[in-house]
Structure 1
Amino acid sequence: MSPFMAHLLFAVGAEPDTAVRPEGLGDHRMRMGTRLAGNLHETPDHGEHAMETNPPANPGRRAFLLVPAAALLLSGLPGHGGERKPLKIGIIGAGRIGGTLGELWVKAGHEVLLSSRHPERLEDLARRLGPRARAGTPREAAVFGDVILMSVPYGALPQVGRDLAAELAGKIVLDTGNPYPSRDGDMAVAARAKGTGVASAGFLPGVRLVRAFNSLPHTALRSEAHRSGERAAVPLAADDEEALRVAARLVEDAGFEPVAVGPLARAKEFDVGTAVYGKALTARELRRGLGLARP
């Protein structure tokens, strides 16, 4: 457990038996509770998502379950962990989602390498974004990035994972893809049944995966970024503490508010077809829709 998380556990008074323990990835791995404040499930009668709220059994447990959200808030404060330096972001699939996020991150001071199977088609966009952007191949993006944005059609994810396994190993990867059976075939059906977070982790072994930017409409990435008032929220799911913090920073830098939902297994709660999918919700609305409403 990292000193940062240990400090948070102490600050909120979590009980010793609720401590976060590493599971094979040292300080980078964080085991989150199976319930943060509730659970979203599908009701068999209507096929719709309903909320079932189960409060934690005791105050110590309740405090622990708030740690991921507190970690996200504190990690975004200036000065936490030193000065926040610009990141190098490799974007694999610079289409409507990847291209828009690349533009937002360049404006925030990061460097991006935009990639696709036809990098020559991205040269104009890279020139327009200025010296912090350039175009290249997916392999070049995988090598370039401290962080990778994976934004390819979901059916292509297994092949990308195989082709770039060596380049992606150990890197933080933000996965935006959604499985659509009409486009991606039977693998999409299986991914939805398993949960996209768990399925993506199987296609991208060895990476530090975060489900992110999959639930907002691509048009909202441009129209809702840095909006006045309460920002639009982006749900995040990850099994890796540091990856979650980096993803939260990039969500903020793009002009949105990060909401930690839980481990990758809980990414299913904001998959295609859920009550929160495809909506530009505020953080309060998103937490309420996912049963994460704060007490």
Structure 2
Amino acid sequence: MTNASGTSGGVALTESTYFSPEAQAVYMSASQFKAFRTCEAAALAEIRGEWLPEETTALLVGNYVDAHFSGTLETFREQHPSIFTRAGELKAEYRQAEQVIARIERDPTLTKYLSGEKQVIMTGEIAGVPFKIKVDSLHRGKALVDLKIMRDFQPVWDPDGHRRLPWWLAWGYDFQAAIYQEVERQSRGADAAPLPFYLAAATKEREPDIGIWQVEQSQLDSALEVVRELAPQYAALKRDDGVPDRCGSCDWCRRTKVITEIGLLSKEDVA
């Protein structure tokens, strides 16, 4: 496992400190950026240690597959005893994860793209905000590859836009790709050209589907502009400069909701 560790605000990033509260406070990450876009209040509460989102089975299954390809599966198993039955066998969801792993490894193209340096840590700045990234598979000077384990590759309903979006857009992977590409580019010098970014993916269906896609550069450029616009605002919130917006519908917002007015029920509410 290769680490290109960085230091900002007195926090040295390594494999063991990457997800530490100190690192989360100093650095923005792709996951943190996406969390702020979803709900600023919940994202800030998580950074402050006031809120811990539920660790879902779907998330753990994806992490199980990631751990295999990063060479940390035994450690993952030790840290998550809940994935085993009382008899010491893997639960059904994680047996399916083993099938996903086997399906990926049967494909020579996926194997090739996932054969770069594993879990490479890098740091950089976007719009003056320190960012950290951890690349699943880095082919130095050639490409960045990120592995995603999805339920399926079907479009996902976007309640805000009232439309269906491609799965990779619905989950904000364009923002992750843009952040990763820019931070890696900076590591090679101010005038370096960005490397192609690829999403390698497999599904958790009974018969796993697989695919690999290059994210179009124009899409990455557009996403990076959004990151440049919003990251300073989110960084200011982390410094307690400003009041975070509440989405009003997430677990954190429901947990901390305070009634400030009495509603009125009327037959006019019937659609």
Q: TM-score, normalised by structure 2?
A: 0.26
Q: TM-score, normalised by structure 1?
A: 0.25
Q: Is the radius of gyration larger for structure 1 or structure 2? A: 2
